[in-house]
Structure 1
């Protein structure tokens, strides 16, 4: 049945070679009891491992029923061991956390035998070896002879053609050894039994054939098997072995039960991240619900905003002014939002007419409002005063470009960073909203104030935005950690200076064309140095009980409307604006008339003079010229003026109307509705205003903010998930080390590398499930005291609510993360050499 042809086995240790087997050739009959005798190190165990497919020969060939195994792959050897070979080891090699029955059954789980059939066959073979009354005992509860009988039963349960026994009586007393040898002799009547032993007496008494081995060579063979006829090669097809995931789960679960304390501690550590995320989501869900309920009780000081372009609030338009008879007839009417918008330019408000109306009814407006602000599409360009390291734009902020981060959420946040706002020009409004901590309110266009929050704190990003701190520190975790313990004095800010560069000073006329030099560091450095100096003259804190609107600063730097007036006047008197206004058909950026059908730059469209001028430019100037040409070619006269910063004081971009109460705001809405009605009756539908109430938009923003904060917090807490995953990876690796012998046992029974990976993947999945369930359970229990404390402190109930679907998702995430954490340890386990694994203790 088995034939070894010129088998050699060489082990490499560093630069040295050790020849364990040297040109071994031997045949075995289908049923005989062969004893292989030899001293320690003679190569007898190596020979047995090669016959069993646990170890691979270096040269030669192993024939199974005449078929060569030279082309065998791992799965072929796995199937060969599972279906053809039964191993009996000197040290029993039983899985300690399994019962006798389970130890025997496990070999059949790899063969695809049904559960009922597995149990039946395992009981039968255990009865055969005399262990009928010990089916559910674990190895630690049994004697050495009983454990060896379990090993024999396990070797026989798959009805193998070959039983390999490695010193089966080496750890047994004399009486038990005789029992085991008689059992093996009985087994040899129906199959091939090959036993390695160093006891010649046992070999002589029980074996039908003795093979002596010394230094890797066969010295003698008492009953050699000679071929009587030419052996025919048989095409052997082994059934593929595979352990089901359920079996892997059972194995791993039983193993974890032997380490209950460690398993629970590991699960608890892994659940900390889940607890944190679950609590954040529970609070976020409750807070979102609460925010909706407090809309009528908070944010009274938010303005009612009317914008020239109201496209972001198309559905929040002015109310329908028609009669509503259906209201009392239990009928449904139609709010003609879309119809009204289609009848005029979408989202376009005539604020010039409304500004005139407000000025004509100043006394009425004064009684309805606390303050009125007219906003224009003009923002100053502000730079750091220190230009030694080049121009540093503070408004608009270039912080996003200076910070290297892969966090796209943070990148987007930095790109939209703006801590600069315009203060109200009404002194009573300022005094009602702010306390002066040091210094004074600004009185001049060049004066600024720092506004801190109610806790006398400023944002760390404000420090970096203002260049109080080096933006490169945002990439240094240690410095960021140190920042929280730092404090500043008011005097650190008062007197701090910046430079304002007027919008039109960015443009320079070259070759009869106006070019944008904002990217020219040398030019901008000069403009900054010659710009208007701005200085912080006071530190303000918002008063308790007040609230900030969209454009009302609650923290940051604020400038006066005088700065806008100064900038606007300077722009209006600039050469570029005068030239553009004097030539309304000519685009001063391109030198051509405003195109009705704009086309991209082409030298063919240039005049000879323009071509000559272009040729005189440097390559950089030519590239800039082409870029600006394309950017400006599609512009209109109005767009050019807007690019220069020109504003019309009679045509604001937005009007903000501040009130002192909801009732006053309602009265203001009726005042605006009266204006709309008058315009509608006069046939001036294009002057009917569409306005929005910022309470609604701000509440929406708060809800969004809650979502963003939740995301950021979840991101931070998720770090603990990563840490716990690393910890579980380490624990799994420790489990691999502890179960090394089990790995060798399973490989000896035919388990593939995938099966081994599956076992440890199953173990991590169980850990993940326990972690997830434990985390959700703790979170659920924690919501009770949290809700009780919050209710006592704020009279708000059920602020922590965790939806069931979120809980299930978090449990799933826990399982997935732990399984991912177990990938590397499970691969390490799968790659372990089965022979080395069996030798481990």
Structure 2
């Protein structure tokens, strides 16, 4: 029984509805150990016949049998396996992959075997030694002569230990010396017990084999046996496998590295957008942290500020604006009954009156300044705002270091322990102007940002002074302490619903709610900026798409070679998708490095303004950037990769 049989092979090409027959009923059988030459002029159907034998052409009628078993040309997966295990190709134009060196070109077919990495390398080196190229393994195809390229192609064809070698005009581009060397190698291959089928129009090449089949006008016109087939038998010892994903990624990296300069431009373009997204998110995190720190340094986040309920002129909505100094008649101060009602609210631990003195003249050692606002120390204020000293008790005060203490002495720290004089002028209960003077001991210095200051007197010092001057001690603001920061919002909500004598009396605002509102605004601004930066990512995606399509166009012949070696459409998709993912990973890596460098430089420069890291790039920001980059790369690769996989391998091999 013949090893390979062709039965009633018919093949036509169509131009519109017009049919052009190429093969007209081919019947052939081949034995292992034969060196068969298919001889004929150009256009006679030789290459078409080879494509059918090699499992590349599926659009024909007839049967191809291997060891008596019919090949199923309707299933692409079975043909991929057939090419991996049975067929080795040698081309007239060599068809070496330019971005792979000699060793990698030969090892390419071994990637689809079960050999280990070291075994694959050893076999590739052994084959190159057999064809006399052991000293050229690190060279690239462009550095080889024509004869050397063809010997590389022969080594690659033998790599997977196939039983059938198809040589399409293997000496067509060689001089006489290299021709003889290649023919000797082909005879040696046949003598090992393989079937060598050569397509040629050279009588000399045909005479070098064991059998000549003449083909003309799509028909066999003669079948001449020159000498018996070689007796040796070879059985493939290698087992094939589907190409692993990691191998596709490794091959993609080799091409990526070979064209690194071109890819670098895309990496930079994509990295700019990713850098902006990372930096703006880090800036948003830093600014929110800074605002939180500053507010929390001034006020206690567990506190709820309560002012009298006032209806707004806008749809009778609640308003928290109170203008006592303008004599707002609608504003009522809080009574003891109000305070008692607040103490009954769930999770309220303390209610404190907030006394406020405005425009307080302050003097020390013949120097004076004016304090905009002085209050009594309550739990609303945060002890962390005192940077030096301690909390004030009755008859003691903490003052702002930068704005007040420096105005009273050149050495603010020396003011601690000293007594300063406060003078406040207001109206007494009779409506007459009255002045109170309070001597207080400085026990602490506070620091705050911007125009915010903390100047606070301990105990009941302010209330006692107001009583002594017959001034009103009523208050229009209360500090309510919640049991925890988590319950503060709920406490504020319950206070806003609370009624005294059937009427709403309170407008409560939790400090944490103010922080949430500020953080919302900051997040909105950050997201808008990041969104604007994200537009550049769309441009980057288009760049990747264009690059991938260019890559498919440049590598059309490579796609045909890989398909001829047995790679599937999925393998081709993986190859181009992997390269696109590499672009995304390197872009995200580059963007991260730049963002971290800018973070360090910017925070160092801004430290002169405030000792705080305004840009805080987190691990989640970086991970998000990598995810975004990889997703963009994947989406950008879908169409080019599908296009590459859909190419007809025969057309791809004929491409330039």
Do these two structures clear the TM 0.5 threshold for a shared fold by scoring above it?
yes
SS in 1 for 2:23: strand
**Residue 428 of structure 1, CA deviation:** 7.2
Would you say 1:52 and 2:54 are equivalent positions?
Answer: yes
1:214 Cα shift?
Answer: 1.3
Number of the residue aligned with 2:636: 821
Matched residue, 2:204: 201
Query: RMSD of aligned C-alpha atoms?
Result: 3.7
Of 150, 153, 169, the match for 2:152: 150
> C-alpha separation between the residues in 2 aligned to 1:811 and 1:693?
41
Tell me the secondary structure at the aligned position of residue 41 of structure 1.
coil
Query: How far apart, CA to CA, are the structure 2 residues paired with 1:43 and 1:32?
Result: 21
2:194 to 191, 199, 214: 191
What is the aligned partner in structure 1 of residue 444 from structure 2? none
> Which residue does the alignment assign to 1:248?
248
1:160 and 1:63 map into 2 onto residues whose CA distance is 16
Residue 803 in structure 1 maps to residue 618 in structure 2: yes
Structure 1 contact 765–819 (Cα < 8 Å) conserved: yes
SS of the equivalent of 1:133 reads coil
The residue number in structure 2 matching 1:771 is: 587
| Cα distance in 1, alignment partners of residues 145 and 256 from structure 2 | 25
**Superposed CA offset, 1:147-182 (max 9, x none):** 100100111111111100000011111111111011
Residue 547 of structure 2, aligned match among 717, 722, 731: 731
- 8 Å CA contact 1:78–1:241 kept in 2: the answer is no
Match of 1:2 in 2: 4
Does structure 1 residue 288 correspond to structure 2 residue 294? Answer: no
Whether contact under 8 Å (2:304, 2:511) holds in the other structure is no
Q: Is the 8 A contact 2:58 2:73 kept in 1?
A: no
Cα 1:660–1:818, aligned 2, differ >3 Å: closer, same or farther?
A: closer
Structure 1 equivalent of residue 577 of structure 2: 761
CA distance in 2, matches of 1:429, 1:288: 35
Aligned 1:486-501 pairs, distance under 5 A: none
Q: Which residue of 2 aligns with 1:710?
A: 526
Task: Flag structure 1 segments of 5+ consecutive residues without an equivalent.
Answer: 227-235, 305-312, 319-368, 382-419, 431-544, 546-658, 675-684
Cα drift, residue 753 of structure 1: 0.7
Residue of structure 2 in register with 1:375 after alignment: 311
The equivalent residue for 2:273 is: 273
Alpha-carbon separation, structure 2, partners of 1:13 and 1:241: 39
- Structure 2 partner of 1:175: 177
1:829 is displaced (CA, Å) by: 0.7
Cα distance in 1 for partners of 2:534, 2:226 equals 68
Quick check: 1:241–1:752 contact (8 Å CA) kept in 2? no
Tell me the equivalent position of 1:782.
598
Q: How far apart are the structure 1 equivalents of 2:157 and 2:255?
A: 22
In structure 2, C-alpha distance between the alignment counterparts of 1:672 and 1:747, rounded to whole Å: 78
Deviation, structure 1 residue 317: 6.6
SS, match of residue 647 in structure 2: coil
Q: How far is the alpha carbon of 1:791 from its aligned partner?
A: 3.8
Deviation at 1:296, TM superposition (A): 5.8
Greater shift in the superposed pair: 709-718 or 183-192: 709-718
1:40 to 15, 39, 42: 42
Structure 2 CA distance for aligned equivalents of residues 10 and 429 of structure 1: 100
The alignment partner of 1:11 has SS state of strand
Whether the 8 Å CA contact 1:75–1:240 is kept in 2: the answer is: no
Distance 1:669 1:80, change over 3 A: farther
1:621 alignment counterpart:
none
Preserved contact between residue 316 and residue 690 of structure 1 (Cα < 8 Å) = no
Alignment length, in residue pairs? 491
Tell me the distance in 1 between the aligned counterparts of 2:478 and 2:65.
102
Instruction: Write the mapping of 1:738-749 to structure 2, written as runs, cut at 5 A.
Output: 738-749=554-565
Deviation readout 1:623-647 (Å, 9 max, x if unpaired) = xxxxxxxxxxxxxxxxxxxxxxxxx
- Shift in Å at residue 781 of structure 1? 1.2
Contact 1:28 1:225 in 2 (8 A): no
Q: Which structure 2 segments of 5+ residues have no match?
A: 229-235, 328-371, 373-451, 464-474, 482-497
1:21 to 3, 23, 34: 23
**Larger RCO of the pair (alpha carbons < 8 Å, separation 6+):** 1
Q: Deviations over 1:106-127 (max 9, x none)?
A: 1011123211111111111111
- CA change 1:246–1:200 in 2 (3 A) is same
Q: Secondary structure at the match of 2:536?
A: helix
Deviations 1:176-211 (A, max 9, x none): 11110111111112211000011112212x111111
More strand, by proportion: 2
Q: CA deviation at 1:257?
A: 1.8
Q: Secondary structure at the match of 1:40?
A: coil
Equivalent in the alignment of 2:124 = 122
Deviation at 1:719, TM superposition (A): 2.6
Helix, strand or coil: the match of 1:18? Answer: strand
| Counterpart for residue 233 of structure 2 | none
